[in-house]
């Protein structure tokens, strides 16, 4: 898709452990939403980052790892690309993983803003930067494990400014309980989907894979 002066520089960063049987061709197809968004005609062209110092999109076949440190120009429609990317990687991943997504306002000049700070009040033209995390994994449960670990890390990091780490065991226990309850509820909902459609029929399901959290 052609763009003129895209409003954002979008950075995708993360590492995904893939199944041992996954091939390079499968990886190239899975990450196609990224490299085609950047107007790449193929994987080799589109997997290169906007910045030469970044490794881009790389697949380590020996270690079965997909490494992404890749920047492109774009707009908010990139969020739809992420949905497709996550669904593709769910099918290839061996365990849960996170991808960090950063939107940097390409039209915001920080130096110009600093020079005006002492001269006038803000005119509402602050940078429209955004940062968030998406999750991928082979099952909803695997994704939930990564979500739990990230939440514990964030909360402990904040609370250690005020408490000793040895005092935070109760917080971690409560987080584990919340995720355990969610895990049980999810497992029960999946079991319900396997019940017979009618009392006289055999066991069956729709055959559709549950949509993973991301």
Cα separation, 27 vs 68, whole angstroms: 12
Distance set, CA 98 to CA 17, 134, 146 (Å): 11, 6, 7
Residue 43 has pLDDT above 70, yes or no: yes
Residue 93 pLDDT exceeds 60: yes
Highest mean pLDDT among 7-16, 106-115, 164-173: 7-16
Residue boundaries of the structural domains of the chain: 8-116+124-138, 147-192
> At 197, which helix (H) or strand (E)?
none
Question: Residue 71 gets which letter from DSSP?
Answer: E
Mean pLDDT of 53-61: 97
Residue 179 has pLDDT above 50, yes or no: yes
**What's the Cα-to-Cα distance from 36 to each of 2, 20, 28, 41, 190, rounded to whole Å?**
11, 26, 11, 7, 35
**199 versus 15: which is more confidently predicted?**
15
The angle formed by the CA atoms of residues 200, 202 and 206, to the nearest 5 degrees, is: 115
Among left, alpha and beta (phi > 0; psi -120 to 50; other), residue 45 is alpha
The answer on pLDDT for 73 being more than 50 is yes
The label of the residue with tokens 């520089």 reads: 9
- Examine the pLDDT at 2 and tell me if it is beyond 80: no
Indicate the CATH number of 8-116+124-138 among 3.30.70, 3.40.1000, 2.30.29, 1.10.101.
3.30.70
User: Percentage of the chain surpassing pLDDT 90?
Assistant: 56
d(CA 3, CA 96): 34
Which residues 6+ apart lie within 8 Å of 53 measured at CB? none
C-alpha angle 101-104-106 in degrees, rounded to nearest 5 = 145
Closest by CA position to 101, among listed 41, 147, 149, 34: 34
Distance, CA of 69 to CA of 47 (rounded, Å): 10
Judged against a pLDDT cut of 90, whether residue 136 lies above it is answered with yes
Average pLDDT of the chain is 83
Instruction: Answer whether residue 187 shows pLDDT above 70.
Output: yes
List the single range of 44-48, 50-54, 120-124 with lowest mean pLDDT.
Answer: 120-124
Higher pLDDT, 206 or 125: 125
Residue 16 reports pLDDT greater than 50: yes
> What's this model's pTM, rounded to 2 decimal places?
0.74
């Amino acid at each position: 898709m052609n763009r003129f002066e895209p409003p954002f520089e979008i950075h995708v960063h993360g590492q995904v452990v893939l199944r041992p049987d996954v091939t390079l061709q499968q990886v190239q197809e899975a990450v196609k939403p990224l490299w085609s968004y950047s107007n790449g005609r193929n994987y080799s062209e589109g997997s290169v980052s906007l910045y030469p110092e970044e490794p881009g999109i790389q697949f380590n076949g020996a270690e079965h790892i997909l490494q992404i440190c890749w920047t492109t120009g774009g707009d908010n429609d990139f969020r739809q690309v992420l949905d497709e990317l996550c669904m593709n990687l769910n099918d290839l991943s061996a365990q849960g993983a996170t991808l960090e997504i950063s939107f940097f306002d390409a039209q915001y000049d920080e130096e110009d803003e600093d020079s005006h700070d002492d001269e006038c009040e803000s005119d509402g033209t602050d940078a429209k930067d955004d940062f968030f995390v998406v999750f991928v994994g082979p099952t909803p449960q695997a994704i939930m494990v990564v979500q739990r670990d990230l939440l514990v890390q964030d909360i402990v990091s904040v609370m250690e400014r005020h408490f000793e780490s040895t005092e935070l065991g109760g917080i971690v226990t409560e987080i584990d309980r919340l995720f355990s309850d969610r895990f049980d509820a999810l497992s029960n909902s999946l079991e319900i989907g396997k019940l017979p459609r009618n009392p006289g029929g055999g066991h069956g399901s729709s055959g559709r894979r549950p949509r993973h959290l991301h």
